[in-house]
């Protein structure tokens, strides 16, 4: 049985959006479930979009997500090079081979003629398709034009009748009418291959067994299959996945302000939580389990359980996942993770390590992402607190003044400032003011912190410090 080999083949454009990363996750899990290989290939045939340093960026992103890249530009195996712009001679060789086989042809139509065809199609409200003008040229005519230095592209010769069947793990057998398939360009006049052609050549030469692509490319796969058949090559197994929609229901895109992986990472989302969330966008396990380690995902992943329906990116659900991962971190690791956000938001000079660690620890169960800590802890860095309308209404209730007065006396009497003595002060207030529950805790919390709900009250009071608490109690 042949070894399972998948590839992630992004363009080096500088960032990785959520939909791209989810495709990479599916490809990785398919390979690793079968103890196979996961390759990284860089598709840089569109040199205009290339961003300096993007390959390092892609490696770093995949590494952060826990992927082991078995072969790629920085760790080449026997199938390299793994950057398409370094494989141009291969594409030329195979494009010309298709011409020899009669499955492709030289096309000499200039941009002016193609533009006229586009205008006609637009006037007729039809999708533009090349009219096959150069298909009629004889071999001798084409060779004469090449000898005269005329610029050309190589186009795939599509059948104009019948149907092509695409077998897909997600959608089953999909039948495409050949009449809708354009004679696509395989090799451009500058010697660069088109995305579609380079993909087929590379996937074959790199012995890729499974290809995961967006559902929107399903029709294009008929062209791929016809190329495989023209070469006499074995086709890979396809899994087309429905797209991830943004929160507004439109296609995810950076232009719409949708987050990329690095946006999320820089805001304090944990890569393992992002991966866990994304894998469940369009795939479901056999059990009701939602939180998975990478090892569990590798064991459980079955591409036959990929959904046919689009899924919607939901930041609330991502926050839920991330909060679970934050809550489960060891305290020291959590402090190390969240401290840079705190440092960026506030001046910590004069604050002891013990104080900072204590502060961060009481919010471990209260934050969904790292950057959120800045808003959550602002009451510890403000001189004054301002009460919202709800808080103001609450502390107007009868008996609250007495509770605050008793509590202030109890706080004043503390000589050794620690959480245990503060807890005792709250309990003493309960007895002396004859209040309990909400009528005990909420007035105290509102007066000292300005909010109705928060982390443990004795810890909050301890961290604020005795002078600040007495000042806020009035």
Instruction: Please say if 357 is a catalytic residue.
Output: no
Q: Which residues pair with 174 in a beta bridge?
A: 166
CB atoms < 10 A from the CB of 165, how many? 10
> Which residue among the candidates 139, 254, 299, 471 is catalytic per the annotation?
254
The answer to whether the beta carbons of residues 310 and 45 sit under 8 Å apart is no
Q: Is 26 exposed, middle or buried (0-12, 13-18, 19+ CB in 10 A)?
A: buried
> What is the spatial distance between Cα 193 and Cα 172, in angstroms, rounded to a whole number?
30
d(CA 54, CA 56): 5
Which residue has tokens 């004679």? 183
Helix (H, G, I), strand (E, B) or coil at 336: helix
Q: How far apart are CA 227 and CA 185, in angstroms?
A: 12
H-type alpha helices, 34-171: 54-64, 88-101, 111-123, 139-147
The packing angle between helices 195-205 and 88-101, to 10°, is 100
CA 119 – CA 204 distance, rounded (Å): 37
Q: Which residues are catalytic?
A: 254
């Amino acid at each position: 049985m042949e070894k399972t080999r998948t590839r992630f083949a992004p363009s080096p454009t500088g960032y990785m959006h959520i939909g791209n990363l989810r495709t990479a996750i599916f490809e990785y899990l398919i390979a690793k479930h079968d103890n196979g290989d996961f390759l990284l290939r860089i598709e840089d045939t569109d040199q205009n979009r290339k961003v300096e340093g993007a390959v390092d960026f892609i490696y770093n992103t995949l590494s952060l997500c826990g992927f082991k890249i078995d072969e790629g530009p920085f760790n080449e195996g026997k199938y390299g090079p793994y950057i398409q712009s370094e494989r141009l001679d291969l594409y030329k060789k195979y494009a010309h081979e298709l011409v020899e086989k009669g499955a492709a042809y030289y096309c000499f139509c200039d941009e002016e003629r193609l533009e006229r065809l586009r205008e006609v199609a637009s006037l007729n409200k039809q999708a533009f398709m090349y009219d096959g003008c150069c298909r009629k040229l004889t071999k001798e005519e084409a060779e004469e034009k090449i000898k005269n230095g005329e610029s050309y592209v190589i186009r795939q010769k599509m059948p104009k009748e019948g149907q092509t069947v695409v077998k897909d793990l997600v959608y089953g057998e999909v039948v495409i009418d050949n009449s809708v398939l354009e004679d696509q360009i395989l090799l451009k006049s500058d010697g660069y291959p088109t995305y579609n052609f380079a993909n087929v050549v590379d996937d074959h030469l790199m012995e890729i067994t499974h290809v995961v692509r967006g559902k929107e490319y399903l029709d294009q796969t008929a062209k791929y299959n016809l190329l495989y058949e023209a070469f006499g090559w074995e086709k890979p197994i396809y899994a087309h996945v429905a797209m991830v929609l943004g929160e507004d229901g439109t296609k995810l895109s950076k232009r719409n302000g949708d987050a990329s992986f690095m946006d999320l990472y820089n805001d304090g989302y944990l890569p393992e939580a992002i991966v866990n969330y994304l894998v469940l966008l369009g795939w479901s396990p056999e059990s009701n389990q939602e939180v998975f380690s990478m090892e569990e995902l590798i064991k459980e992943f079955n591409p036959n359980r990929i959904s046919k329906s689009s899924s919607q990116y939901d930041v609330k659900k991502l926050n839920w996942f991330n909060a679970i991962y934050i809550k489960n971190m060891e305290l020291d690791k959590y402090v190390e993770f969240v401290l840079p956000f705190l440092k960026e938001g506030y001046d910590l000079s004069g604050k002891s390590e013990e104080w900072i660690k204590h502060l961060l620890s009481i919010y471990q169960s209260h934050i969904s992402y790292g950057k959120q800590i800045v808003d959550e802890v602002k009451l510890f860095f403000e001189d004054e607190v301002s009460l919202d309308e709800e808080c103001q209404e609450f502390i107007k209730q009868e008996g609250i003044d007495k509770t605050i007065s008793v509590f202030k006396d109890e706080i004043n009497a503390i000589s050794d400032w620690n959480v245990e003595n503060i807890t005792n002060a709250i309990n003493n207030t309960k007895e002396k003011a004859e209040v309990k529950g909400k009528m005990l805790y909420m007035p105290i919390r509102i007066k000292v912190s300005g909010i109705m709900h928060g982390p443990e009250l004795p810890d909050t009071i301890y961290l604020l410090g005795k002078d600040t608490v007495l000042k806020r109690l009035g």
